[in-house]
């Protein structure tokens, strides 16, 4: 995974999918897609509240991806409060096709 962009409350990361990421159906394991979204989530939320820890993460898989695809995950912090930080993530492929949508909540550790 590589960081493409980072600003206050926003992050974009990418990963090129490899053959060993495929399940028995020839599609990328959902955990790989979720990990990419989580990486963007961590970068974006730590840009506004640090240290923090995730308390909730929910993902909807929309379409499959396969070896050779490049996935891009973007995270936007939509609300930062004293007790929680709420974010939205999207994962797309190199053609802009929506692969997954996610939401997450973090809580500050201090």
Backbone angles phi, psi at 69, to 5 degrees: -65, 150
Q: What is the pTM of this model?
A: 0.95
* Residue 57, Cβ density class (10 Å: 0-12 exposed, 13-18 middle, ≥19 buried): middle
CA distance readout (Å), 78 to 14, 41, 62, 107: 21, 12, 22, 14
pLDDT in single tens digits along all 110 residues of the chain? 999 999 999 999 999 999 999 999 999 999 999 999 999 999 999 999 999 999 999 999 999 999 999 999 999 999 999 899 999 999 999 999 999 999 999 999 98
Token digits of residue 105: 């909540």
- The architecture CATH gives domain 2-108: Roll (3.10)
């Amino acid at each position: 995974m590589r960081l493409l962009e980072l600003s206050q409350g926003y992050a974009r990361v990418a990963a090129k999918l490899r053959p060993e990421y495929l399940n028995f159906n020839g599609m990328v394991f959902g955990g790989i897609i979720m990990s990419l979204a989580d990486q963007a989530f961590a970068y974006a939320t730590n840009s506004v509240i640090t240290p923090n820890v995730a308390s909730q993460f929910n993902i909807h898989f929309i379409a499959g991806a396969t070896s050779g695809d490049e996935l891009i995950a973007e995270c936007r912090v939509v609300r930062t409060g004293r007790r929680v930080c709420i974010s939205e993530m999207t994962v797309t492929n190199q053609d802009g096709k929506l692969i997954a949508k996610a939401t997450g909540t973090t809580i500050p550790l201090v």
